[in-house]
Amino acid sequence: MTFSKSNLNLLPESLFTELTADQAQMLEGGKRVTILEIKCNKTLDPDLADELFLVIGGQSFNQNKTFSMRAGTVLSQPGISKVFNGGTVVTLVSPNGSTGTKSLSFVVATNNINQTVSLRRGGGDYTVKFKVTDN
């Protein structure tokens, strides 16, 4: 079926109401943060290996299939991005370390540039490269 103004009323109502929060933000505009690279300079966990996943704006990415990171490991283009409005928080989470769950976070603003942040806490040291674009 080809859609036009004349047959628009034939479309199911659900096409217009069943949007995820991410899809709704895309329609409203907003920004998209894309993780370009994660580099481990020093692990959070004293066993010298971190199993990480990311949380962006409250949404978990790769929680069931974590990234294994050791000092010097660089994870390029992990394929993680999220739409947001205003600002959002990106968190690296190491859930099963020998000393319990640890995390490193940073806030993403809405300026459209590639950025690099250094995250240091609890002995861990990570560098994260990301970009923010119009959605």
pLDDT given at position 20: 62
pLDDT for residue 130? 93
Report whether pLDDT(128) > 90.
Answer: yes
C-alpha span between 81 and 1 (Å, rounded): 33
Q: Which CATH class is domain 21-134?
A: mainly beta
- DSSP output for 72-99: T-EEEEEEEEEEESS-EEEEEEETT-TT
pLDDT of amino acid 95: 80
Each domain of the chain, given as residue ranges in start order, spans 21-134
What pTM was estimated for this model as a whole? 0.73
- The pLDDT value recorded for residue 19 is 55
> pLDDT tens, 8-64?
555 555 455 565 655 555 555 688 999 999 999 999 888 788 889 999 999 999 888
Model confidence at 100, pLDDT cuts 50, 70, 90, reads low
